[in-house]
Amino acid sequence: MSGLRALALAVVASVALTGAARRPATIFDLSDAVGKRVPALTLTASDGSAFALGAANGKPTYVFLFAGWCAPCQEALPFVRSAYAKYGDRVRFVGVDVLEDATAARTAIANAALPFPVAIYPIEQLDAIVAPDVQLRAGTKYRIPADFLLDANGVVRYAWHGLSVDYGGDPVDVLPGYLAKLGIE
């Protein structure tokens, strides 16, 4: 029995040392990275070009996850556009269409008409990494809209999921408050 136990421990140690148990990072892993550098993620822009999410270029980065079918996401879009108009020269904005196929994503991106780069993270890509039943049991991690604010060094400082509302249930823009915490007024 001790020989079997030793073999099991050796396998576990081998997997831990080689990283074989690690799955590729997803855009949703930003939820787990608050206080840490952004995971290594290369996104595909809607025009097909690739860009690295962690390339902060000395500016904070705001990441907005949305989908065309998501009503709360559509309610958040005016806040996102307004924030870009106010802070776009001091903050890097990145949109990511998630949880739908690439064709639907392209339509949603065109309809959203966001004035900054928007990537596509198709549902098939997420499902290939994280099983749909695991996504459903994960609580708010896969809930959209999802917003993330990275500091100028690429550290995830804030994450919030779902449409932010006031006590009366009306949508509110919380991004300016988080930006102020990073010194951007």
CATH code of the domain in which 70 resides: 3.40.30.10
- pLDDT tens-place string over residues 49-71: 888 887 767 899 999 999 999 99
Domain count, the chain: 1
Lowest mean pLDDT, pick from 18-32, 49-63, 110-124, 155-169:
18-32
Residue 7 inside a domain? The answer is no
pTM for this predicted structure: 0.85
CA angle (177, 147, 160) in 5-degree steps: 70
Residues of the domain holding 131: 25-181
- Does residue 90 contact residue 123 with C-beta atoms inside 8 Å? no
Whether the predicted pLDDT of 13 surpasses 90: no
Residue 55 to residue 40: CA distance in whole angstroms: 10
